[in-house]
Structure 1
Amino acid sequence: MKLIQVFGMGCARCREAENNVREAAARLGIDAPVEFVGDLKVMAAMGIIGTPAIAVDGKVVLAGSVPSAAQAAALLEKFA
Structure 2
Amino acid sequence: MKIVKVLGSGGPRCIETFEIAKAAINESGVDAILEKVSNYQEICKFGFITTPALVVEGTIKAMNRVPTKDEVIAWLDE
Aligned to 1:42: 42
Distance 2:53 2:33 in 1: 16
CA 1:31–1:12 in 2, change beyond 3 Å: closer, same or farther?
Answer: same
> Where is the strand percentage greater, Structure 1 or Structure 2?
2
For structure 1, the 5+ residue unaligned runs are none
Q: In the alignment, which residue of structure 1 is the partner of 2:67?
A: 67
Q: Does 2:54 align with 1:54?
A: yes
Structure 2: gaps (5+ residues): none
4+ residue runs over 2 A deviation: none
What is the TM-score of this pair, normalised by structure 2? 0.89
Q: For residue 37 of structure 1, report the CA deviation from its aligned partner.
A: 0.5
With the length of structure 1 as denominator, give the TM-score of the two structures: 0.87
Whole-Å Cα distance in 1 between the matches of residues 12 and 77 of structure 2? 25
Q: Percent identity?
A: 32
| 1:22 corresponds to 2:22 | yes
| Matched residue count | 78
